[in-house]
Amino acid sequence: MVAPPAPVAVAGTAVADGYAYAARGLELQIFDVYDPVSPQPIGTFRKSVVGVAVFGDVAVAGSRAYVWWGNGKFGGILVVDISDPTSPVEIGSYDSGVSPIPSFVADGPYLYVARFGGLEIGDVSDPMSPRVTSYYATRSSGLGVEEDALYVSQYFAVSFRQEYCVKRG
């Protein structure tokens, strides 16, 4: 008797506008959560990658989902059009260079990527040609966006953490 395959854990999630997005393996699953008691699966985006790779964190801004993928050495962030959540389509990619990245957030036309060696700001207004616009040397580990502020946490040592806020705009 052959054992069924082991379930694949959810690696990243995001919720926006009545939909939940869950990254598992090399799939981005989309659920209608307007009725939170009975979420309904409505769409799936699958990525074919040569070799071993998995999806990780997910961020959503407007009609785009940004999905990190990597294999432990290198990776990137896929730009997925979710304007029709029943039929998500990859429309671009953002090279994050190394794998994994600690955190990233999407806000309008910008993607903020925490790297172990710095904070990278990318312009994704043209999803077919995203580009890095700024880089700041810091030990970024966590990010958050609220109104006109970018919140950055960083590690200096194993047990010491500092957080700061950067005004945007």
CA gap 78, 119 in Å, rounded: 18
Q: Average pLDDT for residues 59-77, to the nearest whole number?
A: 85
Percent share of the chain, pLDDT over 70: 79
Q: Give which of 133, 136, 99, 102 is closest to 119, Cα–Cα.
A: 136
CA gap 151, 145 in Å, rounded: 6
Q: What is the pLDDT of residue 20?
A: 95
Q: Are 70 and 77 in contact (CB under 8 A)?
A: no
Q: Average pLDDT for residues 92-99, to the nearest whole number?
A: 72
CA gap 49, 27 in Å, rounded: 11
CA distances from 154 to 106, 146, 163 (A): 19, 18, 6
